[in-house]
């Protein structure tokens, strides 16, 4: 069923009202709490927030797919308005103890409303339209937050802070009236999915913990998320403490928070519209995630310096805390939040939702719990400079963990989730390929220009594996990129597709200034097995690069006469006698790829002549052993067994793997005869190779 766009304007204004009511609610609750209670009361409220967040993620989030989201949102807004009316009546009755629960209620209601709102938005717009529509809708929320924040100082001149609750009720009621026609018109999109109605079970905490234990990428993000939120909560507490020290009554607190929220949100909006997008494109998602921890280091470092050397300058400390808080809010919303969403794109679809739920539903409440206990039990016994220094050290550790996460992020993409076996890697890659749609292709096109070279290689492989017209088009567009390593990978991946339309384009790269690109272009062109095309490779026989020469020899070998084959063998003999081990390794690689008795004899002569060379040069050992293993001959088995003598464990494992390839090709009679001739060490190697082959 096709979804239409007219709901975009309604959702824009609806989010405007929802965001405005949320910011107004936060400012109201914070001003009333800080004006009537000491700052030490706030960690207790944080504990309630942690419990509420855990309950929401465990019991409420699984319900969303099993109920009508339109009815859920409407009833939630109505219940929200009724609850606010009850709280206002209680405050009129001088029940001041409601100020504490109001603080947590503002936090919980905000989470539920936004969670339900974006679920509804996803119901109305499919993934292709969402990429264009959601930023417009989100802008409505930002404008609502800015507008209501700057309205609060003006309102404080004519009403008391308690009466902001009336405006809060009015905004929520307007949200109900605005959503009512949306629900009537698009109600069919909000219905529960039939396949999820029966599965009414809350998500197990142990399931979430299992994701954190099994997935290295999620586990490292969880560590980063935990440490970062520990810092954020402590910074927030310091901010509240400073506000409490400098403002006495609720109206003054509300006025200050109005200006603060308005300026910080405006600065966030300006940052998102100018610097943030350019930095994300230039540095990539994983590098730009470093912005927040670096900012936190600067903030806590500055505060420590002021507290240590200017302890009496309370105004200076207050200014540093406020500016630091605003800077953190802007950077967190501009850099960490979008990257947090991008981060999960590297997980397969079946883990994406569960991984996010594990972090939001387990790690975040745990971080709030630990930071609250720190404030209640540890902070009273520490001086302000010591506490700030501890936070500074934790911020430094967060930088380290962010860099570490980037390593795991790269490994996850290049290895199709780190820790997976090769068989499972192939399955995950297949799932990613099958799940590709237009929005995914657009995202990958952008990442090809912004991410690190390792991630670009993964994306290229993913697109080549897809081999759809859209994927090939993206790869073709990127062929002219400036990065030589990426260009070489593109040529190699496109060459494996052997598409007729690409042949002439790949031939152009035989003249590329980078030797690696030329070598890959030779392989790509050779894959077409076109004698006419291969004839264009002959001039490259005298290329200065050894890899290019070796690939040209391999490409020409099946098509040339015996006379020319002799000339090619002469070239290989010259290369294999070169003093440079890298050149010799290229010749060995070529000898392993071509057939014929003469090539095998040349390989054998080199083996018995080189002596200790392969023991000292890893590149020679690797190419020589692989070349020998490709020659399906009993003498190859003897040479491999000889190479295993007096080697380290890693090389012996490599030999065993190559033996497994070789023994499977030999006849059983020849193998049994050989087992009788060899010594115990060689016999054990052969048996282990056979066992590995059987297990595989």
DSSP code string of 100-127: HHHHHHHHHHHHHHHHHHHHHHHHHS-H
CB 597 within 8 A of CB 604: no
DSSP-derived secondary structure letter, 275: I
Of 294, 296, 291, 264, whose CA–CA distance to 388 is shortest? 296
Residue that the structure tokens 């409407």 belong to: 74
Q: Give exposure, 580-599, as e/b (b: 16+ Cβ within 10 Å).
A: ebebbbbbbbbbbbbeeebb
DSSP-derived secondary structure letter, 39: G
Domain ranges of the chain: 1-191, 203-435, 453-559, 633-696
CB 149 within 8 A of CB 20: no
pLDDT of res. 204: 53
3-class DSSP state of 265: helix
Cα angle 432, 435, 438 (rounded to 5 degrees) comes to 115
CB 603 within 8 A of CB 631: yes
Residue that the structure tokens 């490409």 belong to: 555
Of 422, 482, 473, whose CA–CA distance to 444 is shortest? 473
Structure tokens at 187: 């109600």
What's the CA gap between 167 and 88, in Å, rounded? 11
3-class DSSP state of 213: helix
Other Cβ atoms closer than 10 A to 555: 23
DSSP-derived secondary structure letter, 498: T
Of 490, 236, 498, whose CA–CA distance to 367 is shortest? 236
Residue that the structure tokens 């417009």 belong to: 136
Contact residues for 601 (Cβ-Cβ < 8 A; gap 6+): none
Alpha-carbon dihedral 503, 506, 511, 517, rounded to 10 degrees: -150
CB 150 within 8 A of CB 258: yes
CB 652 within 8 A of CB 644: yes
Structure tokens at 496: 């494996």
pLDDT of res. 341: 63
Other Cβ atoms closer than 10 A to 84: 25
CB 542 within 8 A of CB 518: no
CATH fold, domain 203-435, is Growth Hormone; Chain: A; (1.20.1250)
CB 301 within 8 A of CB 392: yes
Q: If one looks up domain 1-191 in CATH, what number appears? A: 1.20.1250.20
Cα angle 326, 327, 328 (rounded to 5 degrees) comes to 90
The interaxial angle of helices 216-246 and 205-214, nearest 10 deg, is 110
What's the CA gap between 241 and 235, in Å, rounded? 10
Per-residue CA distances from 600 to 202, 572, 606, 632, 673 (Å)? 65, 12, 10, 10, 23
pLDDT of res. 655: 83
pLDDT of res. 342: 63
Helices then strands, counting H and E runs in the chain, come out as: 35, 0
What's the CA gap between 168 and 174, in Å, rounded? 10
CB 556 within 8 A of CB 538: yes
pLDDT of res. 84: 96
What's the CA gap between 345 and 498, in Å, rounded? 30
CB 588 within 8 A of CB 624: yes
Maximum CA extent, the chain = 106
Structure tokens at 312: 């009496």
CB 536 within 8 A of CB 510: yes
| Cβ burial, residue 683 (10 Å; 0-12/13-18/19+) | middle
Other Cβ atoms closer than 10 A to 468: 13
What's the CA gap between 666 and 124, in Å, rounded? 63
What's the CA gap between 398 and 294, in Å, rounded? 9
Give 183-214 pLDDT, tens digit per residue: 998 888 887 655 444 444 555 555 666 666 77
CATH fold, domain 453-559, is 1.25.10
CB 666 within 8 A of CB 632: yes
CB 395 within 8 A of CB 293: yes
Q: Does this chain's domain 1-191 share its CATH topology with 203-435?
A: yes
- Report the length, in residues, of the chain: 696
Structure tokens at 134: 């959601």
Q: Give exposure, 245-261, as e/b (b: 16+ Cβ within 10 Å).
A: eebeebbbbbbbbbebb
Phi-psi category of residue 419: left, alpha or beta, with phi > 0 → left and psi -120 to 50 → alpha: left
The interaxial angle of helices 42-55 and 364-373, nearest 10 deg, is 160
* Rg (the chain; Cα; Å): 33
What's the CA gap between 267 and 257, in Å, rounded? 15
Cα angle 509, 513, 517 (rounded to 5 degrees) comes to 50
3-class DSSP state of 418: coil
Q: What parts of the chain have a pLDDT lower than 70?
A: 1-6, 61-62, 64-65, 126-132, 192-212, 280-286, 341-354, 406-443, 452, 454, 611-612, 646, 664-674, 692-696
Alpha-carbon dihedral 291, 292, 294, 297, rounded to 10 degrees: 170
């Amino acid at each position: 069923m096709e979804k239409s766009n007219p709901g975009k304007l309604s959702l824009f204004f609806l989010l405007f009202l929802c965001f405005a009511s949320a910011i107004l609610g936060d400012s109201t609750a914070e001003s009333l709490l800080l004006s009537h209670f000491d700052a030490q009361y706030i960690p207790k409220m944080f504990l309630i927030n942690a419990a509420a967040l855990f309950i929401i993620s465990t019991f409420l989030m699984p319900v969303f797919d099993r109920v009508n989201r339109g009815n859920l949102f409407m009833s939630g807004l109505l219940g929200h308005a009724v609850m606010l009316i009850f709280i206002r009546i209680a405050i009129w009755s001088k029940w001041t103890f409601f100020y504490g629960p109001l603080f947590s209620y503002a936090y919980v209601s905000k989470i539920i409303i936004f969670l339900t709102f974006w679920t509804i938005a996803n119901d109305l717009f499919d993934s292709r339209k969402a990429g264009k529509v959601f930023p417009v809708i989100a802008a409505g929320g930002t404008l609502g937050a800015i507008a209501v924040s700057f309205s609060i100082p003006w309102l404080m001149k004519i009403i008391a802070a308690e009466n902001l609750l009336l405006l809060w009720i009015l905004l929520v009621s307007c949200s109900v009236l605005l959503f009512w026609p949306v629900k009537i018109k698009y109600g069919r999109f909000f219905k529960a999915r039939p396949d999820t109605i029966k599965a009414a079970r809350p998500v197990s905490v142990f399931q979430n913990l299992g994701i954190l234990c099994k997935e290295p990428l999620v586990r490292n993000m969880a560590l980063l998320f935990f440490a970062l939120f520990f810092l954020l909560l402590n910074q927030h507490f310091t901010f509240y403490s400073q506000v409490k020290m400098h403002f006495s009554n609720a109206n003054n607190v509300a006025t200050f928070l109005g200006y603060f929220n308005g300026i910080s949100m405006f600065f966030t909006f300006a940052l998102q519209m100018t610097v943030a997008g350019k930095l994300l494109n230039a540095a990539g998602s994983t590098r730009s995630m470093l912005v927040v921890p670096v900012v936190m280091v600067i903030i806590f470092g500055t505060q420590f310096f002021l507290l240590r050397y200017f302890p009496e300058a309370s105004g200076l400390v207050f200014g540093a805390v406020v500016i630091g808080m605003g800077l953190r809010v802007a950077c967190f919303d501009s850099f960490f939040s979008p990257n947090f969403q991008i981060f999960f794109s590297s997980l397969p679809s079946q883990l994406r939702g569960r991984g996010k739920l594990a972090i939001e539903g387990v790690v975040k409440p745990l971080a709030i719990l630990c930071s609250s206990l720190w404030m209640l039990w540890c902070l009273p016994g520490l001086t302000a400079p010591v506490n700030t220094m501890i936070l500074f050290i934790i911020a430094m550790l967060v930088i380290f963990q962010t860099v570490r996460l980037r390593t795991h992020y790269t490994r996850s993409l290049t290895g199709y989730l780190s820790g997976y076996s090769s068989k499972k890697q192939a399955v995950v890659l297949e799932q990613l390929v099958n799940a590709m749609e237009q929005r995914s292709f657009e995202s990958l096109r952008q990442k090809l220009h912004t991410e690190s070279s390792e991630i670009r290689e993964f994306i290229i492989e993913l697109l080549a594996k897809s081999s759809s017209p859209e994927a090939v088009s993206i790869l073709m567009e990127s062929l002219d990129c400036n990065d030589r390593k990426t260009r070489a990978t593109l040529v190699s991946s496109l060459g494996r597709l052997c598409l007729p339309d690409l042949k002439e384009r790949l031939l152009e790269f035989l003249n590329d200034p980078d030797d690696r690109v030329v070598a890959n272009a030779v392989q790509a062109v050779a894959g077409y097995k076109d004698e006419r095309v291969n004839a264009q490779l002959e001039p490259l026989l005298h290329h200065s690069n050894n890899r290019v020469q070796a690939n040209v020899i391999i490409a020409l070998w099946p098509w040339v006469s015996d006379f020319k084959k002799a000339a090619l063998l002469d070239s290989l003999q010259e290369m294999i006698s070169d003093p440079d081990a890298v050149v010799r390794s290229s010749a060995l690689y070529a000898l392993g790829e071509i057939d014929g008795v003469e090539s095998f004899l040349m390989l054998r002569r080199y083996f018995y002549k080189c002596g200790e060379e392969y023991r000292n040069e890893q590149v020679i050992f690797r190419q020589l052993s692989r070349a020998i293993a490709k020659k399906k001959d009993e003498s190859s088995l003897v040479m491999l067994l000889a190479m295993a003598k007096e080697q380290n464990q890693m090389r012996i494992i490599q030999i065993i793997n190559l033996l497994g390839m070789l023994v499977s090709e030999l006849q059983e009679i020849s193998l049994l005869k050989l087992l009788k001739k060899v010594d115990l060490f060689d016999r054990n190697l052969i048996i282990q190779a056979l066992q590995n082959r059987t297990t595989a």
